[in-house]
Structure 1
Amino acid sequence: MVPNQRGQKHGVGYFDVSHWGARVEESSGGVSHLRLNTFARKNTPERPFAVANDFIASSLGIATGLPVPPGTLVGVYGGGYNYASLAFGDRGDKPPPIIPPQFCEERPWEACGIIAFDHWIHNTDRHDGNIGHLPEVAVAIFDHDLALLNETKTSDEALLLLAASQDVPVKFHCLPPYLKDVSHFGEWFDRIASVTRREIRRAAIAAHTAELVSAELRDALVAFLEHRQTRIGSFIEQTRDQYRSVNSWTLDIEEVDSDN
Structure 2
Amino acid sequence: MAAGGRSQKHGVGYFDVDLWGARIDDSSGGVSHLRLNAYARKNTPERPFAVANDYIASSLGIATGLPVPPGTLVGVYGGGYNYASLAFGDRGDRPPPIILPKFCEERPWEACGIIAFDQWIHNTDRHDGNIGYLPDFAVAVFDHDLSLLNESRDSTAALALLGQSQDTPVKYHCLPTHLKDVSHFSEWFERIASVTRREIRRAVATTHSAELLTADLRDALIAFLEHRQTRIGSFIERTRDQYQKVDSWTLDIKEVDSGS
Q: Same fold (TM over 0.5)?
A: yes
Give the Cα–Cα distance (whole angstroms) in 1 for the partners of residues 20 and 109 of structure 2: 31
Write the letter of the residue equivalent to 1:189. F
| Residue aligning to 1:24 | 22
Deviation string for 1:74-104 (max 9, x for gaps)? 0011111000001110122221001110000
1:57-96 correspondence runs (5 A): 57-96=57-96
Give the Cα–Cα distance (whole angstroms) in 2 for the partners of residues 33 and 208 of structure 1: 31
Write the letter of the residue equivalent to 2:110. E
- Residue 13 of structure 1 deviates from its aligned partner by 2.8
Give the Cα–Cα distance (whole angstroms) in 2 for the partners of residues 51 and 26 of structure 1: 33
For the aligned residue pairs, the C-alpha RMSD in angstroms reads: 1.6
Give the Cα–Cα distance (whole angstroms) in 1 for the partners of residues 170 and 63 of structure 2: 21
> SS of the counterpart of 1:53?
helix
Moved >6 Å (runs of 4+): none
Write the letter of the residue equivalent to 1:146. L
- Residue 31 of structure 1 deviates from its aligned partner by 2.3
Q: Which moved more, 1:119-128 or 1:17-26?
A: 17-26
Write the letter of the residue equivalent to 1:126. R
TM-score, length-scaled by structure 2 = 0.92
| Residue aligning to 2:145 | 145
> SS of the counterpart of 2:198?
helix
| Residue aligning to 2:39 | 39
Question: 1:60 touches 1:200 (CA, 8 Å); kept in 2?
Answer: yes
Question: 2:17 touches 2:37 (CA, 8 Å); kept in 1?
Answer: no
| Residue aligning to 2:11 | 13
Question: 2:42 touches 2:83 (CA, 8 Å); kept in 1?
Answer: yes
Question: 1:21 touches 1:36 (CA, 8 Å); kept in 2?
Answer: no
Deviation string for 1:208-241 (max 9, x for gaps)? 0111001111111110000000000000000000
Q: 1:182 to 1:208 in 2, by over 3 A?
A: same
Q: 1:257 to 1:31 in 2, by over 3 A?
A: closer
1:95-106 correspondence runs (5 A): 95-106=95-106
Deviation string for 1:147-189 (max 9, x for gaps)? 0000001001000000100000001100000000000000000
Question: 1:21 touches 1:37 (CA, 8 Å); kept in 2?
Answer: no
| Residue aligning to 1:51 | 51
> SS of the counterpart of 2:180?
coil
| Residue aligning to 1:7 | none
Give the Cα–Cα distance (whole angstroms) in 1 for the partners of residues 10 and 184 of structure 2: 23
Q: 1:187 to 1:257 in 2, by over 3 A?
A: closer
Question: 1:23 touches 1:35 (CA, 8 Å); kept in 2?
Answer: no
| Residue aligning to 1:210 | 210
| Residue aligning to 1:112 | 112
Give the Cα–Cα distance (whole angstroms) in 1 for the partners of residues 175 and 149 of structure 2: 22
Question: 1:131 touches 1:139 (CA, 8 Å); kept in 2?
Answer: yes
Give the Cα–Cα distance (whole angstroms) in 1 for the partners of residues 21 and 43 of structure 2: 28
Q: 1:245 to 1:69 in 2, by over 3 A?
A: same
Give the Cα–Cα distance (whole angstroms) in 2 for the partners of residues 134 and 240 of structure 1: 29
Write the letter of the residue equivalent to 2:25. S
Give the Cα–Cα distance (whole angstroms) in 1 for the partners of residues 148 and 182 of structure 2: 25
- Residue 17 of structure 1 deviates from its aligned partner by 1.8
| Residue aligning to 1:231 | 231
Q: 1:12 to 1:190 in 2, by over 3 A?
A: closer
TM-score, length-scaled by structure 1 = 0.92
1:191-210 correspondence runs (5 A): 191-210=191-210
Give the Cα–Cα distance (whole angstroms) in 2 for the partners of residues 238 and 192 of structure 1: 19
- Residue 25 of structure 1 deviates from its aligned partner by 3.6
Question: 2:11 touches 2:139 (CA, 8 Å); kept in 1?
Answer: no
Give the Cα–Cα distance (whole angstroms) in 2 for the partners of residues 67 and 184 of structure 1: 15
- Residue 20 of structure 1 deviates from its aligned partner by 4.7
Give the Cα–Cα distance (whole angstroms) in 2 for the partners of residues 64 and 163 of structure 1: 25
